[in-house]
Structure 1
Amino acid sequence: MSSKDDPPIEQKPPQVPTRGTLLVDTSRRDQVGEFRGTAGPYWSLRPVCGGTEWEAEPGNVRPPSPMERLRAETARCNARSAGRIL
């Protein structure tokens, strides 16, 4: 049983992923992006088919589901074969 005088439970900050890891930003309607690095307290993500990076709060980022990962990887392959990205 918890009382209101108990100290707050400390949440561990999310571990910084490796560059290139696919992540979902829940604050951007579940947009999938590729992790590019950190910018202060934010994580920089880039659309999988290229485009402008955006900053996401680590608390709003989650790993993609298998279906989200498959869609993102397929979109990246299609963009590469069409010459839209290198």
Structure 2
Amino acid sequence: MRPAEERPPERGALVYDPGTRRVGEYQATVGPYALLRPVGGGREWEADPGRIRPATQAERLSAGVKAANSRAVRRP
């Protein structure tokens, strides 16, 4: 858990959301929520800003591979 006085991540930073067990790109904090976007694009979701944390190297790599695989499947 991050202390309340800690600054939010920079926009675009990869963070892990334990509520959804997903890695996302930090977009902003709006009201009581952090807005995260899936790596590679997609619909944003709301997360508890007190629970998100920087993604580990393994989590970042896994999210990148998942996004690349998704792009490959969508090609005609």
TM over 0.5: yes
SS in 2 for 1:36: strand
- The match for 2:5 is 13
CA distance in 1, matches of 2:31, 2:23: 21
The share of aligned pairs that are identical, in percent, is: 45
Higher relative contact order, structure no. (Cα contacts within 8 Å, ≥ 6 residues apart): 2
Greater Rg by CA: 1
| CA-CA distance at 1:80 after TM superposition | 4.7
Q: Identify unmatched segments of 5+ residues in structure 1.
A: 1-10
Dislocated runs of 4+, deviation >6 Å = none
Asked if 1:64 is matched to 2:60, the reply is no
Aligned pairs, number: 73
Alignment root-mean-square deviation, CA: 2.0
SS of 1:34's partner is strand
Q: Does the CA-based 8 Å contact 1:45-1:54 persist in structure 2? A: yes
Deviations 1:1-57 (A, max 9, x none): xxxxxxxxxx433311111100010111x2111111121121100111322101111
Taking structure 2 as the reference length, the TM-score comes to 0.75
Q: How high is the TM-score relative to the length of structure 1?
A: 0.68
CA distance in 1, matches of 2:46, 2:35: 5
